[in-house]
Amino acid sequence: MSRSDHQPPSGSESDIERHVLNYARTHPEMGQAKVAEALSAQGHEISPSGVRYIWQRHQLETTTKRLQALARHNPKGKSAVLSPRQTKVLERAAASRKIARFSAVIGDDAGSEQERSSLILLAAARLFAERGYDGTSVRDIAETVGLLPGSIYHHYPSKEDLFVSVHREGFRQLTALVDAAVARGKTPRQRLELLCAAHIDALVAVNPITTVAGKSLFGRHAPALEKRLASDRQRYEDILRTLIADLPLKRSIDQSLLRKFILGALNWTLVWYKPGGKSPGEIAAQLMAQLLPDTK
């Protein structure tokens, strides 16, 4: 009664509502526009937003909700309550929500649901880290975030661009971690040791984004792709270069080679590191002890 003054003059209100709810039951996958169009064609004048208004009052605004309501009211009654396709839609939606919730824990916006683009980035990072660029298909990525392959292209223009984005973000995070670690060091040697520990830590960490960055260092990609990745790495290597220049080294030491030896030893941890063994800090300390025993 309280809402009666918002309703049209004719008594057709409950009539229209019944039709809309009927459509929600018989054609749950139809959207506002389609339902409004269909009803109007049958002589029941209604706008898309009108359909949505009724849906909202009954908690049926989305395809998922309409399908769930259907499944709830005919629980295993008849065999074919939902068609296989409808079941699939529900499953994808569930997967998608689950992923969004899970990722919020890891990502930067802890708590709130993340943007789809970030979720795609994270999923791609995980797969790239695990199987490499060639070993990962756009299909795999889409499946992981609960989308269809084509939908990825709304967010990233190509697979290569997606990889470049992961790579860039990886080096951004890696650089930030290393910068923060180095800042805590008092002597040049201590700073180098902290860099090494942070570097190893980032490579073997749970965060797949920095792992991708680390792996890309010795990954062989197509020349065109490799070219786009080079600049990300340059800045990072510069940090190590200036740090080594500060060390009190004998003249006979080739600084360029020393830097390469350190990078090689550090990155090699990706191949042999196992979580239960030596910690990144211990490994870094040993590397310093073996490579620069007399420096302080």
Q: What are the residues binding a second copy (CB under 8 A)? A: 131-132, 134-135, 215, 217-218, 220, 222, 252-254, 257-258, 260-261, 263-272, 278, 283, 286-287, 289-291, 293
Give the Cβ contact number of residue 261 at 10 Å: 13
Round to the nearest angstrom and report the end-to-end CA distance of the chain. Answer: 84
Selected binder of DNA within 21, 89, 104, 263 (CB under 7 A): 89
Selected binder of DNA within 137, 234, 279, 286 (CB under 7 A): 137
Judge residue 133's burial from the number of C-beta atoms within 10 Å of its C-beta, 0-12 exposed, 13-18 middle, 19 or more buried.
buried
102 binds, among DNA, a second copy, none (CB under 5 to 8 A by kind): none
By CB under 7 A, tell whether 34 contacts DNA.
Answer: yes
Nearer to a second copy, 61 or 160 (CB): 160
Copy the structure tokens of residue 53.
């208004």
**How many angstroms separate the CA atoms of 85 and 146, rounded?**
15
3-class SS of residue 18: helix
Binding mask 49-88 for DNA (x = CB under 7 A): x--x--------xxxx--------------------x--x
Closest CA to 99 of 76, 123, 77, 129: 123
At CA 204, angle to CA 258 and CA 200, rounded to 5?
A: 25
- Nearest distance from C-beta of residue 140 to DNA, angstroms: 7
- Nearest distance from C-beta of residue 160 to DNA, angstroms: 6
- Nearest distance from C-beta of residue 213 to DNA, angstroms: 20
157 binds, among DNA, a second copy, none (CB under 5 to 8 A by kind): DNA
Query: What are φ and ψ of residue 36, in 5° steps?
Result: -60, -40
By CB under 7 A, tell whether 48 contacts DNA.
Answer: yes
**How many angstroms separate the CA atoms of 113 and 119, rounded?**
10
Copy the structure tokens of residue 167.
């790579």
Beta strands in 43-199 (DSSP E): none
- Nearest distance from C-beta of residue 201 to DNA, angstroms: 30
32 binds, among DNA, a second copy, none (CB under 5 to 8 A by kind): DNA
Chain CA centroid to CA 8, Å: 48
Nearer to a second copy, 51 or 197 (CB): 197
Selected binder of DNA within 107, 128, 129, 155 (CB under 7 A): 155
By CB under 7 A, tell whether 29 contacts DNA.
Answer: yes
